[in-house]
Amino acid sequence: RLRQHSGAAAVAQTDVESLVLQRAALEAQRRTRALEEELAELLDEEATDMASLKWALKEERRRLAENESRLLREARCRRSKKLESLTASMDAAHSKLKADELAAVEAAKVAAAEQERERALKEKEAREARKAEEARQEAEEQAKQQREHEERLEASKKEAQRAADEKKAQAAAAAKAREATRWIGESGEQWERTCKEAHAKAAASCANLTGAPLSVRKQLDKPLRKFVNQISSTKQQVMEVYQRLTALLTQARGAGEEQYYYCLLKLSQMLVGQGEDLQRQHQLAYPIAEIIVALSSDHPDMLQVFMHLLHAKAPLTVPTLNKGLLAEHVSSTGSAQKGFLMLYGAVVQAHMVQSNPHGVGCGWSYVARLLNSIPVNQASCTALDAFLQVAGFSMYSAFRTQFLKLLLSIRNQVVPQLREKGDKDDAAVISRLELYISEQRYARAPEGSEMVDQDSSSQVRA
């Protein structure tokens, strides 16, 4: 029993100890939980403090960065101000230096100008003194020359008067002699003489070149002949040939008077020579005449030179007629000169140039001389017919009523006088004149006078 009692006591003791241990364990757990909760609170507080510290550190870093940036800006600003101040000082020093240099240069210029002015003043005084002396000497020389000129002028007047008297006497004698050999009016004779003098002047100016070897003259003749051969009955070709020929004459003029007048003479001879074929190709007279008139507008000497050569080939273009011609020769004279008469008529009616220097007014004068100075015969009527066939339309357009009166006079006076001669060879020219007037052919532009614009291979060429 004692053992049992001891065992039970032990068990009870053990239970008590177990209970105590359990309570102690529970207390320990409770304390452990309390410690864990306290530790958790401490950790939370530490975390909060750590976050606060991090924020404070971040704010401190931001503030330090701002302070650093501000200090850097301030430092840069101070540096910039110092640089600006230094630059301004350097600019001011440079400007002052430049101003000093300019002032020095200006002072040097003023000094040089003053010296130049003094030198110019001295030179001016010297020049004025020389001019005064030269003026005095020139006045004395002019007075001397004036006296000599007056003496020469007086002598020249006397010589001119003597020469004029001699020329008048010679002209009167020549007129009487010509009256005995040919028919020509006073105005026609004057015009013929004017053209002859112009030709003589041109020929004298180029006499040396005219007598030069052919190889020398050929260089001038070849381009002239080339362009004359290119003449055709189109406005385009007329303008092209005219422009090339006037350019050649202008170039020759620049090379000297001798070469210019040689080319003028040679070209006039070539153009007059075209009249040989105009009886067969009368429409070619118009482009040739347009070129002659255009060239005469640019080179006035050419018209009279051309006319003299035309008069030499066809005296009826003056008009003049030899009194000693036999009847058969009178008939052939008009026919032989017909092409040249057509060329002359074409010159009178030329209208591509705005102002024709030998236009319808000269044509009217020609017809008046022909009717008043040359007796009515086959030659004069052939000349009249050939001229009117080409130039009549232009004269009618210009004079109208007066021209119709002229035609009436031809029909009522000239044609009957020619018919009265009873020569059967006159019938053809009488018929042509009557048809020209009765059919009013003068009211229509003659064939070929209105040229086409463009060139073509079918156009007639010179």
pLDDT at 327: 63
Q: What is the pTM of this model?
A: 0.63
Residues 363 and 395: their CA atoms lie apart, in Å, by 8
> Which residues face 184 on adjacent strands?
320
pLDDT per residue rounded down to tens, the chain (462 residues): 555 666 777 777 888 888 888 888 888 888 888 888 888 888 888 888 888 888 988 888 888 888 888 888 888 888 888 888 888 888 888 888 888 888 888 888 888 888 888 888 888 888 888 888 888 888 888 888 888 878 877 887 788 788 777 877 776 666 565 556 889 999 999 999 999 999 999 999 999 999 999 998 999 999 999 999 999 999 999 999 999 999 999 999 999 999 999 999 999 999 999 998 888 888 899 999 999 999 999 999 999 999 999 999 999 999 999 987 766 667 788 889 999 999 999 999 999 988 899 999 999 999 999 999 999 999 999 999 999 999 999 999 999 999 999 999 999 999 999 999 888 889 999 999 999 999 999 999 999 899 998 765 544 555
Helix, strand, coil shares of the chain as percentages rounded to 5? 85, 0, 15
Q: What is the CB neighbour count within 10 angstroms for residue 269?
A: 15
Residues 436 and 407: their CA atoms lie apart, in Å, by 9
Residues 323 and 335: their CA atoms lie apart, in Å, by 17
Alpha-carbon separation of residue 79 from 6, 72, 83, 93 (angstroms): 103, 10, 6, 21
pLDDT at 232: 92
